[in-house]
Structure 1
Amino acid sequence: MGLLGRIGGPAIWAPDAKELAGFYAAALGGDVGEEYADESGKVRAVFLPVGETTCFFHTAETFRRPDWPREELPFHLDLVFDDIPATVERLLALGATKPDFQPGGDGWTVLLDPSGQPFCVTRSH
């Protein structure tokens, strides 16, 4: 049996969907897509098209940043770039932070996005 479907992309909760979508758009060199507001006009969801994938960001009023590495993560993003050191510096300038705990050795660098969620910067495998 062949492939029946595909994953469109992850849905990521944050205190501010628009802000976090903007960070990842700048990180990846893309543009923020369509925004969806609630009945009061507050932006609650934002799409970010990235190639054939779409990330979906959702504003969650009760969002709590993960206490990583003490807490296990249900998932995280791996962002792939050719020049890891230059990319890390650029992402730090965009608002990411670099935690002391770096379990990847030379394989990847862990950063925290502006909402405090870990993601990895790595080369293509």
Structure 2
Amino acid sequence: MAPRMKLTAITLDCADPEALAAFYRQATGLEAHPMSNSDFAGLSGDDGLLIGFQRVVDYQAPCWPDQAVPKQLHLDFAVDDLDEAEALLLELGAAKPEYQPGGDRWRVLTDPAGHPFCLTRRAV
């Protein structure tokens, strides 16, 4: 029998954990985790999942869609309105790459540290 595992944390490398946590806190409404410091910041959800942001010396942002520096991972967020969510996130500091493979189905943005993430329509 395979071990049962529960995902408890996702941690992203970055140059400035506090700034990246602030971006995602404003975007998601998640609460700041009390163990945050200058080298690590975290956000907690009601379900117990922690999104962490870890300082890495000489951090190099992913170059999506180019693979010179691979994306390593990406996050997906379900939203009610793609245009509204995109506008808010761009205002908060996200960027929108020119290459958009999802057409009208989803949008790819990058956070202030360069990590790509997707916005998808929330299932009705």
**1:7-50 alpha-carbon deviations (Å, 9 max, x no partner):** 1131101110011011001000222222444xxxxx10111012
TM (norm. structure 1) is 0.87
Aligned with 2:39: secondary structure?
strand
- Within a 5 Å distance, the mapping from 1:52-91 to structure 2 comes to 52=47, 53-71=49-67, 72-91=70-89
Displacement of 1:2 in angstroms is: 8.4
| Residue of 36, 39, 45 corresponding to 2:40 | 45
2:62–2:114 contact (8 Å) kept in structure 1: yes
C-alpha distance in structure 1 between counterparts of 2:19 and 2:56, whole Å: 13
Determine if contact 2:71/2:115 at 8 Å carries over to the other structure.
no
For normalisation by structure 2, the TM-score amounts to 0.87
Name the counterpart of 2:113. Answer: 115
C-alpha distance in 1, partners of 2:50/2:106?
A: 23
Q: Give the aligned length.
A: 120
Task: State the Cα RMSD in Å.
Answer: 1.7
Name structure 1 gaps, 5 residues minimum: 38-42
2-11 vs 50-59, which deviates more? 2-11
Residue 96 (structure 1) aligned with residue 103 (structure 2) = no
Structure 1 runs, 4 residues or longer, greater than 6 Å off: none
Residue 114 of structure 1 aligns with an amino acid whose one-letter code is P
**Shift, 1:84, TM fit:** 1.3
Sequence identity of aligned pairs in percent? 34
Change over 3 Å in CA distance of 1:34–1:107 after alignment to 2: same
Match of 1:9?
A: 9
Query: What SS does the aligned partner of 2:100 have?
Result: coil
CA–CA distance in 1 between the matches of 2:46 and 2:3?
20
